Amino acid sequence: MTTSSELFERAKELIPGGVNSPVRAFRSVGGTPFFTKRANGATLTTADDRELIDFVCTWGPAIHGHNNEIIREAVAKALDSGTSFGTPNPYEITMAELIIEMVPSIEKVRMVNSGTEATMTAIRLARGYTQRNKIIKFEGCYHGHADSLLIKAGSGALTFGNPDSAGVPEGFARETIVLPFNDLGAVQDVFDTCGDDIAGIILEPYPANVGLIFPKDGYLQGLRDLCSKNGSVLIFDEVMTGFRVSAGGVQTKEGITPDLTTLGKIIGGGLPVGALGGKAEIMDHLAPEGPVYQAGTLSGNPLAMAAGIAALELLKDGTAYDRLDHLGVQVREAIQSAVNETGIPAQIPQVGSMFCLYFTDTPVKDLEDASNTDTERFNSYFHKCLDLGVYIPPSKYEGNFISTAHENASIARACEVFAEALRSM
Ligand code: KE4
């Protein structure tokens, strides 16, 4: 058996950092990343033949667990007819109908191949539609690695302490205004000074690439009002939260209607997919209908569409969220109980099947608060959980996910592990 360590040494000779996405490298938490050779339900089987209860869920897509039989059969059926046609295909219509039905603010939708493509297109569309240049984003929000958005970003960029990536020309950065999250006055001030050049605002309505932060009461509505008043485009990046916190995402939970929404992860059922959707009047500015160009060789390919359609069909009646919400509360309460018992300062924000653990005694409302939480303590907690057979995200800035495949026994065992890890500190 080739161990994870041996595989990692070989991978580092061939792939930068040995990984195809930085956060997988365990750089923040230390140690050698494990390689996964199989995944089923809530369990990962590593190259070292360890079985781990998974709370990363491939960073969100696996809301039905890994290797879900219904999704697998849908992909197998599509595979019988080929993998990619490069022409329109009926699956794309079914996918578009599902997204439009489940996310009321979306009147038209364009499929792409990643969340990054979706957000990159959204800001180009906002600029093309408004004929303006400036985009407002928020510290700690991560929208993928498009140049204009990789500024004071969250997720892996934050984990490695380089929220402003090398290689982004000053000219690009100049058109992106970065503000603290949850500070509506700061946004008002920007509109007061250059409102007629603000193409749009893009945000994660529940920032989950900085742990998990909730908007203050009135904040999302305030952003909505400012965009409406100034003719700017409000973009909700729901790549992570879409179909995760509810069938209609945060916008449905909070009753806020964005102009554009970006999606990804869950809508691909584990295959590469992203999507951009919103008001038809704006979306029709996309080529070939309008002047804003966007394209993709594999956009809407039948395999990814079949997987995503199966994943969304399993969520459409909403009953999956009853279980996911219940499991999320159960896990949060179990961790809270252990926190109370040990007296360790910790915050456990949770919504539905998303949660995180901050080691701090004060609620986290923005990037600064998140950055001031105890990293060393988190890293120790991460490794203790991993040693005991539970895999949580290898960074304090990433959210945990639960799937419908997390059976009661797995949840019970994980709660024991979380408590034991806290007691060991
Ligand atoms: P992708 O390009 O990775 O498909 O999506 C980018 C993206 C956009 N918007 C939000 C809100 C996101 O969370 C993401 C990607 N999320 C990270 C996890 N925090 C992906 C994991 C990784 O980078 O390997």
Summarised one tens digit per residue, pLDDT across range 254-296 is 999 999 999 999 999 999 999 999 999 999 999 999 999 999 9
Q: Write the residue with the smallest CA distance to atom 13 of ligand 1.
A: 240
Active site residue 265: yes
Q: Which of 108, 134, 152, 265 is labelled catalytic? A: 265
CA of 48 to the centre of ligand 1 (A): 27
Q: Quick check: pTM over 0.85? A: yes
Ligand 1: which of 26, 113, 206, 209 to mutate, judged by most atoms within 8 Å of the beta carbon?
Answer: 209
Residues with CB under 6 A from ligand 1: 21, 23, 59, 114-116, 119, 142-144, 155-156, 204, 209, 237, 239-240, 264, 274, 398
CB 385 within 8 A of CB 391: yes
Ligand 1: which of 26, 111, 143 to mutate, judged by most atoms within 8 Å of the beta carbon?
Answer: 143
What is the distance of C-alpha 242 from the center of its chain?
8
Structural domains for the chain:
4-67+317-423 (3.90.1150.10), 69-313 (3.40.640.10)
Which pair of tokens denotes residue 153?
Answer: 């970003």
3-state secondary structure at position 369 = helix
Confidence grade of residue 165 (pLDDT, cut at 50, 70, 90) = confident
CA of 144 to the centre of ligand 1 (A): 5
**Using N-to-C axis directions, what is the helix angle for 302-313 and 90-102, rounded to 10°?**
30
Please check the confidence at residue 62 and state whether its pLDDT lies above 60.
yes
Which ligand 1 atom is at minimum distance from the Cα of 156? 23
pLDDT value of residue 65: 98
CB 220 within 8 A of CB 251: no
**Using N-to-C axis directions, what is the helix angle for 184-194 and 219-230, rounded to 10°?**
10
Confidence grade of residue 212 (pLDDT, cut at 50, 70, 90) = very high
Active site residue 237: yes
Active site residue 219: no
Within 10 Å of residue 7's Cβ, how many Cβ atoms? 19
Query: What integer best gives the mean pLDDT of the chain?
Result: 96
Within 10 Å of residue 116's Cβ, how many Cβ atoms? 20
- Burial level of 375, CB count in 10 A (0-12/13-18/19+)? middle
Which pair of tokens denotes residue 279?
Answer: 């008001």
Closest among 292, 254, 255, 291 to 276, alpha carbons compared: 292
pLDDT value of residue 162: 62
Give percent of the chain above pLDDT 90: 93
